[in-house]
Amino acid sequence: MALPVFHVQQLPIAEANPLRFNSKLAVDWLVRFLRQECVEHRGITEAVIGLSGGVDSAVVAYLAAKAFGADHTHAVMMPYKSSSQQSVDHAQIIVDQLGIKSQTVSISDMVDGYADFCQDEVSPQRLGNICARCRMIVMFDQSSRLNGLPIGTGNKSERLFGYFTWHADDSPPINPLGDLFKTQVWDLARELGVPNEIIDKPASADLVKNQTDESDFGITYLKADKILYYMTAGYPKEKLVEMGFDQGDVNLVWQRVASTHWKRRLPTVAMMGYSTIGEYYLRPVDY
């Protein structure tokens, strides 16, 4: 059965919260999206999710349990030695509440094996990228073992800010949250019944003690998402400032999006003929 087409009505500029949406309808749509993309199009019935204890992966676990059933939803917890115990505990809460299958694969030896090989001191940023790529190795390998498919958990705010590791966090072929801003993911989590202790805690990559997404950004998700909403709708900087957004916040958001375009594309290929994969603009096919 074909999926319905949803026409999104753009809210007026004066709207206090332009990010409002029908979360109940969104749940139904995303569950059907997962079933169609995985089961109908690919013939795959097993979903594999990297469960971190954060709200994004929790929401995807809830959606997958609805779409595939608890017996066909596989959560993989992949802590590093510096991961907080709270993250591990919250991931287990999700597993217990949904009754999904789970396993824990520590990535400490994988990460440290390479980090110890490096002659220089590995910076927190490099370590974070190493962790993310090790986790994707586990995700794709476990998907192969289970004849399943890894399901992505990155939201639209993170993707627009480039707040992910290229060919790691954003590499799963299916992502139900990729067009939802972070604040909308929180609304979806409430609709799905994700526990409040997971929804309300500060979002964090959990690589450094007391690290939070918003401290890394220099702006809150609530402020950034509203700017991103209008920015992606085509409003220029000047209009956003005229609408009442702080000039510094607008510049910060604009710079982050502008500097990370490359992370939202496949590798750029030098065109040598008329059938370059994904590059020939008059022939938008993949061959």
**Span 210-258, pLDDT tens digits:** 778 888 889 999 999 999 999 999 999 999 999 999 999 999 999 999 9
Question: Does residue 191 sit within a domain?
Answer: yes
Share of the chain above pLDDT 70, in %: 89
Structural domain including 71 reads 23-202
pLDDT for the residue numbered 287: 43
Question: Does residue 36 sit within a domain?
Answer: yes
pLDDT-derived band at 6, boundaries 50, 70, 90: very low
Question: Does residue 220 sit within a domain?
Answer: no
> Beta strand 73-77 with 149-150: parallel, antiparallel or unpaired?
unpaired
- Does residue 39 register a pLDDT over 90? yes
pTM given for the model = 0.89
Question: Does residue 216 sit within a domain?
Answer: no
N residues, the chain: 287
Is 217 in contact with 161 (CB distance < 8 Å)? yes
Question: Does residue 2 sit within a domain?
Answer: no
Q: Between helices 221-232 and 182-192, what is the axis angle to 10°? A: 110
Question: Does residue 170 sit within a domain?
Answer: yes
User: How many folded domains does the chain comprise?
Assistant: 1
Cα–Cα distances in angstroms (integers) from residue 44 to residues 1, 37, 57, 59, 147, in the given order: 17, 9, 20, 20, 7
Question: Does residue 8 sit within a domain?
Answer: no
Q: Which of 15-19, 119-123, 237-241, 265-269 is modeled with the greatest confidence?
A: 237-241
Question: Does residue 252 sit within a domain?
Answer: no
Neighbours of 256 (CB within 10 A): 18
Q: Any idea what the CATH number is for the domain that residue 34 is in? A: 3.40.50.620
